[in-house]
């Protein structure tokens, strides 16, 4: 099982788009995509499972991109740890789990962590500090696909929903088990 976290510097950074791109580059893999939020989204349950693919919500976009399951978790910091553990306990091999959240990093250590940066000049939300400490790579929307090597690689993608060849090669190196048939 691969465990991936995608965090972001703020609202609208492109976290959902990147998650959809990651799942699309690995079709046929069993994905559970989990959006974690501290804000109520009109669901009565703290863990809501989306069942209809589409473009109306982030979880519907996950299903449209190929997720087997899409969950919306509404929790404060006190309850989040037990909810994350419950989700992981429910998803054994060969399911892969991808979280859209900054705060989930307080409760798990992923195989890969991406930080999506909305704009280098925009102010980041405080929870992004944890992502910056844990991320393996940063990703930003750019005019064209390219990668900037460094202590942490920085990917610039023309579209966050389309993983570039350099990013794909980087992913293959770090998670080789996902690329085997």
What sign has the CA pseudo-torsion 138, 143, 144, 146?
negative
Whole-angstrom Cα distance, residue 34 to residue 137?
A: 20
HEC profile of the chain:
CCEEEEEECCCCCCHHHHHHHHHHHCCCCCEEEEEEECCCCCCCCCEEEECCCCCCCHHHHHHHCCCCEEEEEECCHHHHHHHHHHHHHHCCCCCEEEEECCHHHHCCCCCEEEEECCCCCCCCCCCHHHHHHHCCEEEEECCCCEEECCCCEEEEECCCCCCCHHHHHHHHHHCHHHCCC
* Cα–Cα distances in angstroms (integers) from residue 51 to residues 35, 71, 72, 100, 147, in the given order: 14, 9, 11, 18, 36
What are the extents of the domains in the chain?
A: 3-178
**Class level of CATH domain 3-178:** alpha beta
What sign has the CA pseudo-torsion 36, 147, 144, 132?
positive
pLDDT tens by residue, the chain, 181 residues:
899 999 999 988 999 999 999 999 988 889 999 999 976 555 667 889 999 999 999 999 999 999 999 999 998 878 899 999 888 888 666 789 999 999 999 999 999 999 999 877 778 899 999 999 999 999 999 889 999 999 999 999 999 999 999 999 999 999 888 877 5
Q: 137 pairs with which residues across the strands?
A: 114, 153
């Amino acid at each position: 099982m691969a465990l991936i976290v995608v965090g972001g510097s703020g609202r609208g950074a492109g976290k959902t788009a990147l998650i959809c791109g990651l799942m699309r580059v690995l079709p046929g893999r069993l994905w559970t995509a989990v959006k974690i939020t501290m804000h109520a989204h009109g669901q009565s349950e703290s863990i809501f499972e989306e069942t209809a693919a589409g473009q109306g919500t982030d979880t519907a976009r996950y299903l449209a991109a190929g997720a087997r399951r899409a969950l919306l978790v509404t929790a404060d910091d006190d309850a989040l740890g037990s909810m994350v553990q419950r989700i992981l306990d429910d998803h054994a091999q060969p399911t892969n789990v991808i979280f859209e959240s900054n705060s989930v990093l307080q409760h798990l250590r992923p195989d890969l962590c991406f930080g999506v940066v909305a704009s280098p000049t925009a102010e980041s939300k405080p929870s992004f500090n944890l992502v910056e400490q844990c991320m393996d790579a940063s990703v930003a929307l750019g005019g064209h696909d390219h990668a900037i090597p460094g202590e942490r690689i920085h990917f610039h993608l023309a579209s966050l929903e389309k993983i570039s060849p350099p990013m794909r090669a980087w992913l293959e190196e770090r998670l080789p088990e996902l690329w085997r048939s």
